[in-house]
């Protein structure tokens, strides 16, 4: 069996399970086991997805803009803080527990406070996305720095290389793999964080749209929004995988 054929067969397993779930969902709805207003059929959801496509596209742009800004800021901050925490041990000892504590506070609990402090504009949404995405990126970069080959680090020190040169030549390349693993998590978090923050109010976004259709009990449209959010997250994760392969082209050969 060729590797390409094996890859196709492996992809058929999750697709088959998804098709089975959708078929069972349709059967339950068609048989009237669950009331239609509680669980719309897949066909109704698909119809809503097509009919609401223009509105969903407009709201998706708003959500993606918020996610892009928040994620970009979290990447920049994680890079700066990870370098400082790697360079200065006392900053690591002081900052790492604080970073862990920020992850113990539920996102839904922070969102109302951010709206109270910053209003209903884009700022509270970007802040929430930043807080959500910062920790995975910081931990990924710190883990990557710690994974650098000690022998190579000793060689650089013996040759009189400074920290910045060692960081650029050794630690950052070693951290790339971990960074993209953290980024893969953060891109999905950024979309979810944007939607959660939009639940509390705003002029646009998938979360605002979801709140509106929920209040009108249009659950077929609500399921349509969920599908759009899932598709966006999957596309962003695939884009991260593509960037990963571009930055580290040898990794795809290691996976074969």
Q: What pLDDT, on a 0 to 100 scale, did the predictor assign at position 72?
A: 95
Q: How confident is the model at residue 255 (pLDDT cuts 50, 70, 90)?
A: very low
Asked if pLDDT for residue 153 goes beyond 60, the answer is yes
Q: How confident is the model at residue 32 (pLDDT cuts 50, 70, 90)?
A: confident
Q: What pLDDT, on a 0 to 100 scale, did the predictor assign at position 45?
A: 87
- The whole-angstrom separation of Cα 5 and Cα 9 is 6
Count of beta carbons in the 10 Å neighbourhood of residue 243: 13
Contact 185, 136 (CB under 8 A): yes
- The whole-angstrom separation of Cα 87 and Cα 165 is 12
For 109-145, write each residue's pLDDT tens digit. 777 788 778 877 888 889 889 988 998 899 999 988 9
**Nearest Cα residue to 170 out of 188, 186, 180, 157:** 157
Contact 140, 182 (CB under 8 A): yes
User: Count of alpha carbons within 13 Å of 31, Cβ hemisphere only?
Assistant: 7
- Single pTM value for the model: 0.84
Q: How confident is the model at residue 157 (pLDDT cuts 50, 70, 90)?
A: confident
Structure tokens given for 210: 């979801």
What's the mean pLDDT when you consider all of the chain?
A: 85
Q: What pLDDT, on a 0 to 100 scale, did the predictor assign at position 2?
A: 65
Report the range of poorest mean pLDDT among 84-88, 186-190, 203-207. Answer: 203-207
Q: What DSSP element (H or E) covers 103? A: none
Count of beta carbons in the 10 Å neighbourhood of residue 8: 10
Give the position of tokens 């070693």.
174
């Amino acid at each position: 069996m060729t590797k390409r054929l094996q890859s196709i067969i492996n992809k058929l397993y999750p697709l088959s399970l998804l098709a089975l779930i959708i078929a069972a969902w349709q059967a339950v709805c068609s048989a009237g086991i669950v009331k239609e207003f509680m669980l719309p059929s897949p066909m109704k959801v698909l119809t809503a997805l097509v009919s609401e496509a223009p509105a969903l596209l407009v709201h998706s742009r708003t959500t993606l803009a918020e996610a892009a800004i928040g994620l970009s800021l979290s990447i920049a901050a994680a890079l700066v803080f990870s370098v400082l925490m790697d360079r200065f041990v006392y900053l690591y000892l002081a900052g790492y527990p604080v970073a862990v504590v920020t992850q113990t506070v539920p996102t839904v609990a922070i969102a109302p406070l951010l709206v109270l402090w910053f209003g209903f504009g884009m700022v509270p949404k970007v802040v929430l996305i930043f807080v959500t995405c910062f920790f995975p990126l910081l931990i990924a970069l710190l883990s990557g720095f710690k994974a650098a080959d000690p022998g190579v680090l000793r060689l650089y020190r013996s040759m009189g290389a400074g920290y910045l040169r060692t960081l650029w030549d050794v630690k950052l390349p070693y951290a790339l793999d971990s960074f993209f693993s953290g980024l893969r998590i953060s891109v999905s978090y950024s979309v979810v964080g944007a939607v959660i923050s939009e639940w509390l109010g705003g002029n646009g976004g998938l979360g605002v749209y979801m709140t509106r259709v929920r209040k009108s009990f249009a659950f077929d449209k609500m399921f349509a929004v969920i599908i759009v959010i899932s598709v966006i997250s999957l596309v962003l994760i695939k884009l991260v995988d593509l960037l990963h392969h571009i930055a580290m082209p040898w990794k795809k050969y290691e996976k074969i």
